Chain A
Amino acid sequence: MLRVDQVVSGYGPIDVLNHVTINLEKGEIVAVLGANGAGKTTLLRTITGLIRVRKGSVTFGDKVLNGLSPAEVVRCGISHVPEGRHIFPDLTVEENLLLAAYIMPRSQQKSRLDAMYAMFSILAERRRQAGGTLSGGEQQMLALARGLMPNPRLMLLDEPSLGLAPKIMGTVFDTLAHLRESGVSILLVEQNAKRSLELADRAYVLVTGQVALEGTAHELSGNEMVKQLYLGGTR
């Protein structure tokens, strides 16, 4: 469904991604592992149109995404939950959610909003509260709900468990598993390699802007290099 083919992209004079090729089939959860600076976030930003594709191509279904604006990419059915949550602190929870479905007609926005409140009851309770007053875990739920608002076919998640207490981290991963059942495909960038490999179907390992390894999550969990680098030694 998503094909990133030999993509080069970066910032200013620097190419961060160096001929990266990844695939994602419908219904899959694919994890992207890698150290800081390996290009994981850059990969997501390139898919979403926040950064220009310099070489290669990004296609979604039969649509070429190269050169589309982020707004157009969202319209194609891809949503992006950025690292660090980026909740609008002075806007209410409800305004945060509605803005994520900016392009939808009002009636559709309403039904998506209801769906989100049904899924995340804490957000329904806090709908009139300013986003900045939520706890870290609640903000992550809001960030996920914002990602789901436009009813995407593919979600790009950047470090959804970063900075969360273990218990809340568990809730986040449960939510992701639940999403898979509802048919949303997920491209997951995570520093918690163990948990993301447990959840994912397949995974890629990025090293300095190139795909160093790829395989099923099971294969990679057993891989010596992955064990050493990302799973904290042998287990």
Chain B
Amino acid sequence: MSIDIFLNLTVRGLTTGAIYALVGMGIVLILQTTNVMNFAQGDTGMFITYLAFFMITTAKVPYSLVLILAIAAGAVVGLLIERFMMRSVRSRSHLSLIMLTLGLSLLFQGLAAFLFNTEPRLFPPLVSGDPIKIGPVVLGRQDIVVLLAAIVTFGILYLFLYRTKQGAAARSISQDEYAARVLGIPTPSIYMLIWAIGSALAGLAALLIVPRFSLEPSFMGLIQVKAFTAIVLGGMGSVFGAAVGGLIIGVVENLVAYQFPAIKDSFMLIVIVIVLLVMPQGLFGKRQQRRF
């Protein structure tokens, strides 16, 4: 592998990794604040991408607006999930909450198939044009958008968690939910906010990655598995660990795919097993739970 090829694989791996990071950060944010492992994260994004597709093709919404509308739609979907599903079952066991999110995932797949049918469709990239050459690295315009979007999102999420009182409240709930309630923090509205942000992240990630695949109800499945690998690697408990984990997975996966194409996808499952065996707390997790 020449150095040029290595650089190209790495940078392109980073763009894929940015998507895993976006999905993973949403999962960790929801997990740490509301204590729900959301297996519907990927398919929430898938469903929102269908909505975006509908906006573009049928409602003729200008392309520039679609990204914003899709993020907003994601937030609304998240609000609805919290308000009408999660809130009423909060006190149930972990297992039943997980089953519920698995059901939600199937619900989104079914809805997408019912409303838009399962025929794969081509989703055009947000930006088109020739790839751009930066030194030896050739990068598609959409890939650049993905990287920029991930960096901006990461920054916004950091500011939210560490500079706003709602962010501080979310962190406090993740550490001691009882204390947060005792202090008079309106926990239900924080849960709703976090679901909204998490689901908006899902929508953003799916919309950015869909041009690489075709739009069909199952297209986020594998990406969600990779995002889970990323959060296990990052240490489950840390939003920023999930981001770093996602980037690492994206790069490693791309390098492995070049050398050993046959094991590209199964490789990630091997990574999960090894991480869990060797360092179950991940890269950024504390032994004792730290959530952000």
Binding site for B on A (CB under 8 A): 48, 50, 69-71, 73-75, 79-80, 82, 86-91, 95, 98-100, 102-103, 146, 150
Beta-carbon contact of B168 and A90 below 8 Å: no
Kindly specify which of B48-56, B126-134, B183-191, B248-256 makes contact with the partner chain: B183-191
Interface-side segment among B98-106, B110-118, B171-179, B259-267: B171-179
User: Which 7 residue pairs of A and B lie closest in terms of their CB atoms, listed nearest first?
Assistant: A74-B184, A86-B179, A71-B186, A71-B184, A88-B175, A100-B183, A88-B172
Given known contacts A86-B178, A98-B165, A102-B165, A146 and B171 CB-to-CB distance under 8 angstroms: no
Using CB atoms and an 8 Å cutoff, list the residues of chain B in contact with chain A. 165, 168-169, 171-172, 175-176, 178-188, 290-292
A48 — which chain B residues lie within 8 A by C-beta? 182
Excluding A86-B182, A87-B179, A102-B186, 10 further A-B contacts by CB distance (< 8 Å) are A73-B184, A74-B183, A74-B184, A82-B178, A86-B179, A88-B172, A91-B175, A99-B185, A100-B183, A150-B184
Complex Cα distance, B187 from A100, in Å, reads 13
Contacts of A99 in B (CB 8 A): 165, 168-169, 172, 180, 183, 185
A146 touches B183 (CB 8 A): yes
Determine if B168 and A95 form an interchain contact, defined as CB atoms under 8 angstroms apart. yes
Residues of the A chain whose Cβ atoms lie less than 8 Å from the Cβ of B182: 48, 50, 70, 80, 82, 86
Provide the bound-state CA to CA distance between A56 and B69, in Å.
49
Chain B residues with CB below 8 A from A79, complex form: 183-184
Residue of B with least CB distance to A74: B184
Residues of A within 8 A of B178 (CB): 82, 86
How far does the Cβ of B214 sit from chain A's closest Cβ, in whole Å? 43
Measured between alpha carbons, how far is A103 from B290 in the docked complex, in Å?
Answer: 26
Assuming the A-B contacts A99-B165, A99-B172, are A82 and B179 also in contact, with contact meaning beta carbons closer than 8 angstroms in the complex? yes
**In the complex the two chains form, is B184's CB within 8 Å of A103's CB?**
yes
Q: Which residues of A contact B185 (CB under 8 A)?
A: 71, 99, 102
Measured between alpha carbons, how far is A79 from B169 in the docked complex, in Å?
17
Q: Which residue of chain B has the shortest Cβ distance to A96 in the bound complex?
A: B172
> In the complex, what residue of chain B is closest to A146 when comparing beta carbons?
B183
Contact between B183 and A91, CB atoms less than 8 A apart: no
Cβ distance B287 to chain A, nearest Cβ, rounded Å = 14
Q: How far does the alpha carbon of A184 sit from the alpha carbon of B169 in the complex, in Å?
A: 26
Complex: chain B residue closest to A132, CB-CB: B175
On chain B, the residues within 8 Å of A95 by CB distance are 168, 171-172
> Of B169, B181, B186, B292, which is within 8 A of A50 by CB?
B181
The smallest beta-carbon distance between B27 and chain A, in angstroms, is 20
Cα–Cα, bound, A50→B186 (Å): 12
Most A-side CB within 10 Å, residue of B182, B291, B292: B182
Write out the residue numbers on chain B whose beta carbons fall within 8 Å of the beta carbon of A71. 184-187
Q: How far is the CA of A69 from the CA of B172 in the complex (A)?
A: 18
Which of B168, B181, B186, B188 contacts A91, CB < 8 Å? B168
Bound Cα distance from A91 to B176, whole angstroms = 11
Shortest Cβ distance from residue A28 to the other chain B in the assembled complex, whole angstroms: 22
Considering the chains assembled together, what is the distance between the CA atoms of A90 and B285 in angstroms? 13
Q: Chain B residues near A74: list those with CB within 8 A.
A: 183-184
Assuming the contacts A90-B290, A90-B292, asked whether A102 and B184 have C-beta atoms less than 8 A apart, the reply is: yes
A-B contact pairs, 27 of them (CB 8 A): A70-B182, A71-B184, A71-B186, A71-B187, A73-B184, A74-B183, A80-B182, A82-B182, A86-B179, A88-B175, A88-B176, A88-B179, A89-B175, A90-B171, A90-B290, A90-B291, A90-B292, A91-B171, A91-B175, A95-B168, A95-B171, A98-B165, A99-B165, A99-B183, A100-B184, A102-B184, A150-B184
A91 to B183, CA, bound (A): 14
Question: B residues within 8 A CB of A69?
Answer: 186, 188
- Could you tell me the distance in whole angstroms from the C-beta of A168 to the nearest C-beta in chain B? 21
Q: Which residues of A contact B176 (CB under 8 A)?
A: 86, 88-89
